[in-house]
Each structure stands twice: as structure tokens, then as C-alpha cells.
Amino acid sequence: MIAPDSALAKGGALTGLALALLALPAAVWGTDWPQYRGPTSLGVSPDPILTSWPEGGPPVLWRNASLTNGFSCLVVSQGRAFTLISKQDAGGRFEYCVGLDAATGTELWATPIGVAPWDPAVSYNGGAGTFPYVTGDGPRTTPCVASGRVVALSGRMNLVGLNATNGSVVWSNNLKTAYGASEIAWENGASPCLDQDLVFVNLNTAADNRTLAAFRIADGSLAWSSQNEGLTHATPVVATIEGVRQVIFPTVSGLVSLERNTGALLWKFAYPFGPISTSMGAGPVVYSNLVYCTAAYFRGAAAARITYSNSTWTVTQLYYKNSSAGLNYRSIWMTPVCHEGYVYTLCGENSSFLTPPLNCIELSTGELKWSTNNFGMGGLILVDTNLVVLTEDGQVVLARATPAAYHELARYRAFDLDAANPGKCWNNPTYADGRLYARSTRGGIALDVSVPLQPPLTLLPPRFLNSTQLQLVVSTANGTPIPSNRLPKIEVRSTNSLGGPPLQWPRLTNPLVLAPDGLARLTNTVSPGGTRQFFQLLEQP
């Protein structure tokens, strides 16, 4: 809603120039995290996060000890959280999709989606110097949610659509029976990838040109299927490259990009480290027109540039860092994130356990900028300009996403995992609406890391400096000074007509300057002569 901030103002030599100041409420922040790796599928949230945590850690909003077994992440949408667990009931051990109140962690419903193929009680020895882990084995996939539907894919390839409110089954597809899908070693670990009304799944079928598929969220029907490409444990991603919306599947032979609506093949990047014979769990990273992929079992990492010209897609390999680069470039399932052209990645393999490092790599060149050890095979996301890392042994670490050096901001032990309480975190944290969510094989947690609300901003009446220059002044509603870190997110927009949507008004490019009095000022050139001009204030999240 747009509300008048002051009456029309006319001034001196600008006879006939009408100026209206309009205040737009601050942009609503609190982006949902509706699928594995977040709203973009690339592990990124634009929302602010508290970077100065209290001594003893941020407030714990809830713990839920029933969220055990498995490596499914939490997803959050419209006040509810969803994840997969496995548990024993009268009929045996099953995978369950669980719906929670995101604010309290209270279970709202739990719906079985398929037989659980894993034994959570099997012990795994971490090797010399580490304590024995109980795997807490269970679901490897993460559900997604859109339009009131929760879509989950089981380890044995059962794709279901559930009512997000009560967990009732709206539709169910046994992909093996209906489409000839097949399992791979260690069962399915690739989550359904969401983009608006479609989810994308690798069926791993022997049928010609039917391997990579899109299903409609509303009813579970098949939208399209394409190609013959083997399944890995890595989840597809969606991205816009060269202006084309596409879904990129990490297959056995390479990254395969298909047009989002039709499944038509756009391009393919064959892995320079060869086809995947064991496992690949880390998904691809996309930044602009660059893609990055990594695989463990002594493979490495590679990057390519994707271009489109004269109706032709071209893939140019930029580099390949092979196994001789050590643990700096190979990740077993820890999908990296990218910020401003730099990849931040947890690297390691089964044999390394708690020693694997967090690395910063220049995406375009593959140059290692820095490396710091002892994070383990956990997961990480990017929130605003900060890395949020969930370590293998249950710590949440906040660090700056900067190539200059490793810069840690805060650390909190979310899970007490030791010989007396064995478990691990082999998944990613989640961030939504100021809350940080995490899971281990022993439970779930939600932390309050929200940024305190700041007073709203307002445009003060304009001041005419001369016949062609107008000064606009931004203040807080309560008169307190505007902090310097808030200034880059403030925009002033202008139009001569109220016909178009306010968010499409052109942004004034003249800089806002913060003065010692705590007010921000912008000088704008205007043309006298009867043209009405409207201004609005907008603050990005």
C-alpha cells in the first residue's frame, strides 16, 4: 500500500512543478526456505542475519528430539517446517514426512511415504582419534513445498504430494511402477527440485529419452521427460543463464541442462574427472554464466563458462583440479555456495571425518584463496553476505563470505555429540524469517538470529537549492540517526505518472549521503515547467 507522506509541495522559481512525496513500507523480509538449498536451489537467502551473537549463543526457540535418523534438511514455508525422518511402527520401519509449527517445533502431522531401507542403529567407526558414530541412517532427501503441497521423494523412488496443512496424501507416484525408475547404491539421495509449479526428478529409467523428468505439483502428473542419463545422489538446480530459465541435472556422465518448460536439451558439460562410478552427492553451483561441480572419491572439481550466441550453446571448460590437489577441491556431498564470484566449499571424504576444511576458491580461475580446517562433512549456506556452516559434530558457525581471509563472527554448539551422545550432522542448515534451523541424527533445533527491527524511514519535505536542484531528505520516523550500514539498502524512486506499479518506478542514481546529523540527503535535478513529479522511498531487505 502507498500512503501519502505529505501534501503537494510547490516552491519558488519552480512554479507549476508539483512534487508529491510518497512513502512505501519497508520491503517485507522473511523469505521462505521452501526446498533443499533454499528459495533459489543454490543455498542462498537474501535476508539479514544477526552477526553479533550473545555470549552463550543465540536464543534457542525450540528443540525437538523426535527429529532423529537421516540426513534430510528442514524446509520452511508460511509458518510451517517440514522434513523426513524414519521410525518404527507396527508395520515395520518407514520414512515419514513430518510437518511442524515453525515457531514452536510442535509436530502437526506425520505421514508415511515409503518403506525405510536403512538401519539407523548400525555403528560406523570414524577411525583413529575419533569416537564411534552411530550413523542414525535414514532419509537422505529433503521435501519441498509450494501452493499448499509438500512434495517428498523417498529412498526407494516414491514421489508423493501431501496437504501442507494436515499431511493427507493428495497424490502418490510409485516412480518404479509407473515410469520404470530404478534405485542406485545407497538408495536415492537426490531431493525433488522445485521451480514454481514443477518439480524435477531423475527417474534413472532404461526407457529411451525418459530419464530426466518434470512433474506438476498440483496433481503429480508428468509434464515432460527427456534424455538418457544415470542418477547420482546430487540434487538438480534451477537457474537463469543467458536469459534462459533452465534446470541442471548432475548425472552420471556430466551436468545436463534442459529448458525448464519443455525439457529440451540446452547444453551438457561432461565431467573432466570421468563418469561417476561410486557416488556424487554435491550439487552444481551456478553464478552468472559459470558453473562449478565437485566430486569425491579422488576426483576433484571443475568449472565451465556457458554462452549462447547465434542460437547455439557453447560450453568452455575453465579448469579441472584433480585429486592431486588434495582435499581442497573435492566434496563428497557438501554442496558449495558462491558469493560475488568466489566459491565457499566444505571439502572432504569418508576417510577424513572431522578434519575437512572450509575453503574459498575463485570461481573463474580455481585459485585457492584460503583454507581453514576442522569443519567436517557438514553443510553450509549463504545468508546475506555471511556463511552459515553446520559442522559435522554439531556446531553452527557464522563467518564472513570474503576472499581476503577466513573471518569468523560467531560459533555455537547446537548439538552435544560425543561418545556418550553419538550422532552427526550430514546436512545443511536452513534460514527463514530470522530463524536458523538445523538437524542432526539426534534431533532438530531452531535458533533466533533475527535482526532487531529498525524504526521506519520517511521522506521529509523537499528543499529547493536553486531553480533546478531539489534536495530530498531521509529520516527515521522517530528522529534517531540512520546507521551507516543501513544506508546502502535505501532507495529513492521517482516518476511523472502514477500509472505504473510503484516498484517499477526508476531509481534515482544520485547517491544518498549520510550527514553527521544522522539524516541522509540526495540532490536531484528537476525541470521547471509544470511537470508533476512523485517520489517514493524504498528499503531493501
List the chain domain ranges: 3-26+456-539, 44-448
Q: Which CATH class is domain 3-26+456-539?
A: mainly beta
C-alpha cell at 237: 538446480
Q: Do 44-448 and 3-26+456-539 have the same topology in CATH?
A: no
The residue among 304 and 123 whose pLDDT is bigger is 304
Instruction: Calculate the average pLDDT of the chain.
Output: 89
pLDDT of residue 5: 34
Predicted confidence band at 136 (pLDDT cuts at 50, 70, 90)? confident
pLDDT of residue 509: 87
- Check pLDDT > 60 for residue 361: yes
pTM of the model: 0.82
pLDDT of residue 12: 32
> Which of these ranges, 217-231, 347-361, 380-394, has the smallest mean pLDDT?
347-361
Q: Which residue has the cell 534457542?
A: 60
The mean pLDDT value for 210-229 works out to 97
User: Could you report the per-residue pLDDT of 510-535, keeping only the tens digit for each?
Assistant: 889 999 999 999 998 877 665 677 88
User: Could you report the per-residue pLDDT of 318-344, keeping only the tens digit for each?
Assistant: 999 997 877 789 999 999 999 999 999
> What separation, in Å, do the N-terminal and C-terminal C-alpha atoms of the chain show?
17
What share of the chain in percent tops pLDDT 90?
Answer: 69
pLDDT of residue 29: 46
The mean pLDDT value for 284-309 works out to 96
Predicted confidence band at 117 (pLDDT cuts at 50, 70, 90)? confident
**Cα dist from 81 to 107, 142, 143, 225, 265, whole Å:** 9, 11, 10, 30, 35
pLDDT of residue 347: 92
pLDDT of residue 159: 98
Query: What's the CATH code, domain 44-448?
Result: 2.130.10.10
Closest CA relative to residue 436, chosen from 486, 409, 407, 398: 398
User: Could you report the per-residue pLDDT of 399-413, keeping only the tens digit for each?
Assistant: 999 999 999 999 999
The mean pLDDT value for 126-134 works out to 46
User: Could you report the per-residue pLDDT of 461-510, keeping only the tens digit for each?
Assistant: 888 888 788 899 999 988 899 988 888 888 888 888 776 676 778 888 88
What share of the chain in percent tops pLDDT 70?
Answer: 90
The mean pLDDT value for 228-237 works out to 97
pLDDT of residue 528: 64
pLDDT of residue 489: 84
Name all contacts of 165-171 with Cβ < 8 Å and 24+ positions apart.
166/108, 166/109, 167/97, 167/99, 167/108, 167/109, 167/110, 167/111, 168/111, 169/111, 170/219, 170/220, 171/219, 171/220
Parallel, antiparallel or unpaired: strands 379-383 and 44-45: parallel
- Check pLDDT > 80 for residue 21: no
pLDDT of residue 278: 87
User: Could you report the per-residue pLDDT of 142-193, keeping only the tens digit for each?
Assistant: 999 999 999 999 999 999 999 999 999 999 999 999 999 999 998 999 999 9
Q: Which residue has the cell 493428495?
A: 170
pLDDT of residue 422: 83
Predicted confidence band at 134 (pLDDT cuts at 50, 70, 90)? low
C-alpha cell at 152: 517428498
The mean pLDDT value for 80-104 works out to 95
Question: In this structure, are residues 41 and 59 in contact, taking their beta carbons and an 8 Å threshold?
Answer: no
Question: In this structure, are residues 490 and 522 in contact, taking their beta carbons and an 8 Å threshold?
Answer: no
Residues 531, 24: Cα–Cα separation, whole Å:
22
Dump the DSSP string for 350-362. Answer: TTTTT-PPEEEEE
pLDDT of residue 468: 81
